[in-house]
Amino acid sequence: MFDNSATLTILAAGLNAAAFAMTDIAARLALVRDLVPGRLCLTTSFGIEDQLLTCVAAELSGGVELGDGVEIVTLDTGRLFPEIHDVWRLTERHLGITIAALSPPAASVAALVARDGNDGFTASVANRRACCHVRKLEPLARALSGVAAWITGLRGEQSPDREGVPFAEVDAARGLLKINPLFDWSRASVLAELGARAMPVSALEGRGYRSVGCAPCTRAVRPDEPERAGRWWWEELGAAKECGLHPPAAFTTPTMAASGSPPAPV
């Protein structure tokens, strides 16, 4: 973790300049390894982007001198799809690695449920963000403690809010660099590379789930919808589809499209 924001800004600028000269993911991760002093952490939710990055990070950590390598962790919110647990096991077996899991504090979850109910996140945007904070942001803070660079699967093509996402950006609040190696990759390119590497992919992918979070908050998307349209679909159309891990510069102020627990379109 860096104390000096000027240092972060200089590092990010250098990484962005260098990244445009390469598209290979291994080369981009090696660039981060060479230029960023300190620990590197990749967080995975087992979507296609994270599967590709996990594969490459595991290869680099095992086959190239990376010191302690790239730490790979997942946030186990307690509300994941069974299919995500399945691909988690397959991935560990395929790569011969163990992916560390960080869960929300039991006391925080209990307090949240006591206050808002088990599925209270459908009642208001404030409730939904409170749930995301407990189940995702608290574990993420522990995952990134002391980390110099956080590697994510963000792509500019995923949603209007993510258009223009850079290779490297400064996360001033956390005092680290956020690295997005797939920032300029298309969905088709990611899938093609996964196929070439024979990496496991969640069964949800074949059922139209293009961005997968907690099971109650995710539905499949229609062909004409953005990839993240299936996240918190009951919130106002055009609302930022983010949980707080990767907040856009400014959230819109969404309202709920309907009260109660909304059915997912079929």
Does the residue 219 lie in any domain? no
Does the residue 245 lie in any domain? no
Distance, CA of 191 to CA of 201 (rounded, Å) = 9
pLDDT of residue 203: 97
Per residue in 94-138, pLDDT (tens digit) is 999 999 999 999 999 999 999 999 999 999 988 999 999 999 999
* Type of residue at 134: V
Does the residue 215 lie in any domain? no
Enclosing domain of residue 39: 5-207
Angle, helices 48-63 vs 187-197, to 10°: value is 50
Angle, helices 48-63 vs 82-95, to 10°: value is 20
Does the residue 158 lie in any domain? yes
What CATH number should be reported for the domain holding residue 37?
A: 3.40.50.620
Count the domains in the chain: 1
Does the residue 217 lie in any domain? no
Q: Which long-range contacts (CB under 8 A, 24 or more apart) does 133-137 make?
A: 133/244, 134/104, 134/105, 134/108, 134/109, 135/75, 135/77, 135/78, 135/79, 135/104, 135/109, 135/214, 136/75, 136/77, 136/104, 136/243, 136/244, 136/245, 137/243, 137/244, 137/245
Report the run of H or E that residue 148 belongs to, with start and end. Answer: strand 147-151
Does the residue 192 lie in any domain? yes
Does the residue 254 lie in any domain? no
Greater confidence (236 vs 204) lies with 204
Greater confidence (229 vs 90) lies with 90
pLDDT band, residue 264 (cuts 50/70/90): low
3-state secondary structure of 109: helix
pLDDT of 262 above 90:
no
pLDDT of 23 above 70:
yes
pLDDT of residue 247: 57
Q: What residues are labeled active site?
A: 243
